[in-house]
Structure 1
Amino acid sequence: MPDQVLKNTFHIGVEPKVVLDHLTTPENYIGLSPIVVAVKDVDKSTPGVVRYTATERFRFFGFIKWDNPIAVELFTDDSAVWGDVKSPGGVRMAYRFDLSAEGTGTRMDDVLNLSAPSLIIKYAASEARKVQLARARILVERLA
C-alpha cells in the first residue's frame, strides 16, 4: 500500500504544557481539524492513552455529504502527542506532534505518515495536508 509523509513545523505563542493539554483533549479536535464534526466514546481509562471515535465530514461536488467514522488512538508524554488513526477504506495514519520550548512559546513539529490504497492515496494525502496546515493556523489562533 502506498504511503506518504507530510511535515509541518510552526510556532505557537504559549508554553508547551498549554499546547499539550489542548492536544490531549479529544473534543478540541472538533474544528481544530476542519473536517472533524463530532467526537464520541472517549476512553481515558489507561494513563497516557486516549481512545475515541471521531466523525470526519467530507463534501463532494458541494452537495454530497459523507460522514466517515475514524478510530483514534492517542498517546502522550511530557513533550509529544502521537498515535494512529484507522479509517474505513484502508486509510491509516500515524501522527506525531513533538513540542519544544522556543523563546516564549512552543515549536510544534507535526508529522503525518499516511498509507492508503493506490486509488485514493492522492486524495487522502491532499485532505490530510489541508487539515495539517489548517491545524497549525487554528492552534495559533485558539491559543493566542
Structure 2
Amino acid sequence: MPTEEFTRSVVVARPVEEVFAHLARPESYIGLSPLIVAVREVDVSADAVRYVAVERFRLRALRWDNPIRVTMTFPEPGRRIVSEVWSPGRVRLESTVVLTDDSAKTRVSETVRVTFPGILRALVVGQATKVQGSRLAELARRMDRAPGS
C-alpha cells in the first residue's frame, strides 16, 4: 500500500514539560485536532495510552462519526510522543511529535506517516495534511494564552 510522510513545526510559548503534559492526555485532542469530537475507552498502562477517538465528518446535512483506535507511546518521556492510529478502510497513520527547548519556548515538530489503499490517496493525504496544520495552529493558540486564561 502507498505511504506518504510529511513534517511541520511550530514554536509555542510554553516549556517542554507543559507541552508534553498537554499532548500526553487523550482528552487534549478534542478540538486540538479539528475532526476529534470525543475520546472514550481510555486505557493507561505502564508502556502506553490506548483510546478510541471519534472523528466527525460532515457533508452538508450528513454526519459520519468515524471511531479510530489510537495507541500513544513515549519512547523519550517528556520529549517524544508516538501515536499509532488505526482507522477503518485500512488507513494507518503514525504521528511522531518531538519537543525541543527553544529558549523559554518549545519547538514542536510533528512527522506524519500515513499508509492507505491507493484509491483513497487524495482523501487521506488531503485530510491528514489539513488536520496536521490545524492541530499545530490550535496547539500554538492554546499554549500562547496566558496561564489560567
Figure out how many residues of one structure are paired with residues of the other and give that number.
142
Counterpart residue number, 1:75: 73
Q: Secondary structure at the match of 2:89?
A: helix
Amino acid at match of 1:106: T
1:65 matches 2:59: no
Counterpart residue number, 1:102: 102
Partner Cα separation in structure 1 for residue 72 and residue 15 of structure 2: 21
Counterpart residue number, 1:54: 53
1:13–1:130 Cα change, 3 Å? same
TM-score by length of 1: 0.95
Cα displacement string for residues 86-112 of structure 1 (whole angstroms, at most 9, x for unaligned residues): 000000001100000001100111000
Counterpart residue number, 1:7: 7
Percentage of identical aligned residues = 35
Amino acid at match of 1:49: A
TM-score by length of 2: 0.92
Gaps of 5+ in 1: none
Cα drift, residue 10 of structure 1: 1.1
Partner Cα separation in structure 1 for residue 137 and residue 14 of structure 2: 14
**Residues 14-25 of structure 1 aligned to structure 2 (within 5 Å):** 14-25=14-25
Cα drift, residue 4 of structure 1: 0.6
Counterpart residue number, 2:39: 39
Cα drift, residue 48 of structure 1: 4.1
Q: Secondary structure at the match of 2:118?
A: coil
Cα displacement string for residues 57-110 of structure 1 (whole angstroms, at most 9, x for unaligned residues): 1123x2221110000000121201112000000000011000000011001110
